[in-house]
Amino acid sequence: MEDLASPEPKPQPDYRELLERWGEISDLGRARALLAWDERTMMPASGAAGRAEQIATLARVRHERLTDDRLWELLERLAESTRDPDTIEAANVRAARRDCGRARLVPADLRAEMARSASRGETAWAAARPESNLAAFLPHLERNIELRRRYAACFEPTSHPYDPLLDDFEPGMPTSEARRLLTELREGLVPLVATLAEDPGAPEDSIWLGRNRFETDAQKRLASELLRLLPLPPGGWRLDPTLHPFATSIASGDIRITTRYDPDDLSFAFFSALHEAGHGIYEAGVPAESRRTPIGHPASLAFHESQSRLWENWVGRSRPFLEQALPLLRREFGDRFADLDAERLYRAANRIRPSLIRVDADEVTYNLHVALRFELELELFEGSLQAADLAEAWNARTEEYLGIAVPDHAHGVMQDVHWAAGSFGYFPTYTLGNIIAAQLWEAAAAELGDPDRLIAERDLETLRAWLAKRVHSHGARYLPAELAERALGGPPDPGSLLRRLSRKYGELYSL
């Protein structure tokens, strides 16, 4: 304690202690991630109760370490004594103070109540969704919103009640900026989607579909081969089946990618494997030496999503990549793809069709699904919309943005698990990721030349190395706004994405 008042602080031992403490906090988090990965890929269903206890214990111990008073005192001393703000040390102290400071503001009983309510909400949602039973789901939704309001209030004063919710996923981004970006994009996309939806020259995409047509083992082989086309670290990843695909990083050199194999729709596994691999490539690009430090993880969810979208849509849906995928498709599903040429495969992979379900949406309409959720979340937290009126607002906006009527709540307001699990503030990062991906792609093209040429030459390592230099290698050293300045040359701006989509779909359709 005497160091607090000491006129000559000793940064070296303090900093070493910070790294030691953070190494354990990081290990607890990664161990929890491994248990969660196992739960969603390997664990027999009967293990669920025991696993929930194990995960809760690790989460609790990690939280205790994070909110430890001694750690906070250490960080206060380090903040005083760290002079040069541009060093890695200063970045680690800033990142740790941010994480600890936020964790310390929320009472433990509120956190526990949020976790309980989320778990109950998810269970109620899973039971109520098949019957579109909104009445059974509504009390859980209302409870989750009330708890999230109390959570957000812990961070007051804030300029918007949604700021703390967004800040959990996109550090430092104000709600006003997210709203400006998503509104500008939405205003550009609604007319584009309306035009594409009515176009008689729309690409044909039935090649991906067929009742029980796509055998799981063949899809597994295909997904593995596809990932081998990407610059994933050799020997540093694995691919496993799950229900809701995700990617996670357990340690440096240990990336877990998952996908789901739908026997009726081959495109799901094809593109979700590429998407999750994109998340994995980012995680693998965080330097090994920073892994157990406060900055040893990706910068934000929007930057994370920019990487997954880039590999899924900019690379995976490009002509040269699909040309390389065609022989793999023929090998596993020969008769289907035998007569198909690469140009038709490209068209089939780029069909725009307004639809009800977000997770099945194409790269254009996806952003309208996100805009809708984000706007409704803002209205709920601003108080201009009540949970009881949410379904009606949802249906009206689906009609307005996508031009389609919602037949029931299972295909409407009850389709996603997020709100049932109390997760608010997460959705906008999906579209922010698309916006950032478009800017990164333009910046890469300006420096490296046409990225399609790199894809055609099977030189994706050059693209990965460029992304690693611009984004991955920094980990969370910079807040997203500063990383955007460094990596994109300016703040996020929907212009690049709107230009890309108009150009690409103008050429694909008969616009």
- What's phi and psi for 165, nearest 5 deg? -70, -45
Of 106, 107, 111, 102, nearest to 75 by C-alpha is: 102
| Cβ 306 to Zn ion shortest distance, Å | 10
- Which region among 212-220, 261-269, 306-314, 356-364 touches Zn ion (by CB under 5 A)? 306-314
- Which region among 5-13, 87-95, 209-217, 302-310 touches Zn ion (by CB under 5 A)? 302-310
- Nearest to Zn ion of 414, 437 (CB atom): 437
| Cβ 308 to Zn ion shortest distance, Å | 4
Residue 306 contacts Zn ion per CB under 5 A: no
- Nearest to Zn ion of 92, 306 (CB atom): 306
Longest CA pairwise span in the chain (Å): 79
- Nearest to Zn ion of 290, 307 (CB atom): 307
Could you please report the per-residue DSSP string of 199-240?
-TTPPP-GGGB-TT-S-HHHHHHHHHHHHHTS-PPTTSEEEE
- Which region among 34-42, 104-112, 216-224, 303-311 touches Zn ion (by CB under 5 A)? 303-311
| Cβ 180 to Zn ion shortest distance, Å | 23
Residue 429 contacts Zn ion per CB under 5 A: no
- Nearest to Zn ion of 245, 354 (CB atom): 245
Residue 26 contacts Zn ion per CB under 5 A: no
Residue 117 contacts Zn ion per CB under 5 A: no
170, 426 Cβ separation under 8 angstroms: no
Query: Which residue is closest to Zn ion by CB?
Result: 308
Query: E strand or H helix at 511, and its extent?
Result: none
CA-CA distance, 95 to 66, in Å (whole number)? 12
User: How many Cα atoms are found within 13 Å in the side-chain-facing hemisphere of 226?
Assistant: 33
User: How many Cα atoms are found within 13 Å in the side-chain-facing hemisphere of 232?
Assistant: 30
- Which region among 196-204, 301-309, 358-366, 400-408 touches Zn ion (by CB under 5 A)? 301-309
Of 494, 471, 92, 103, nearest to 299 by C-alpha is: 471
| Cβ 305 to Zn ion shortest distance, Å | 5
- Which region among 18-26, 67-75, 304-312, 446-454 touches Zn ion (by CB under 5 A)? 304-312
Of 110, 108, 82, nearest to 95 by C-alpha is: 82
Query: E strand or H helix at 506, and its extent?
Result: helix 495-508
Residue 276 appears among annotated catalytic residues: yes
* Beta bridge mates, 237: 255
- Nearest to Zn ion of 14, 312 (CB atom): 312
Residue 398 contacts Zn ion per CB under 5 A: no
399, 392 Cβ separation under 8 angstroms: no
Residue 272 contacts Zn ion per CB under 5 A: no
| Ordered strands of the 254-259 beta sheet | 237-241, 254-259, 247-251
- Residue of the chain from 117, 308, 318, 429 that contacts Zn ion (CB under 5 A): 308
Of 352, 345, 349, nearest to 367 by C-alpha is: 352
- Nearest to Zn ion of 66, 310 (CB atom): 310
Catalytic residue among 170, 276, 375, 377: 276
| Cβ 129 to Zn ion shortest distance, Å | 22
# of chain residues touching Zn ion (CB under 5 A): 1
- Nearest to Zn ion of 245, 475 (CB atom): 245
Tokens 């955007």 label which residue?
A: 484
CA-CA distance, 466 to 446, in Å (whole number)? 12
User: Which amino acid, 365?
Assistant: T
Active site residues per annotation: 276
- Residues near Zn ion (CB under 5 A) are 308
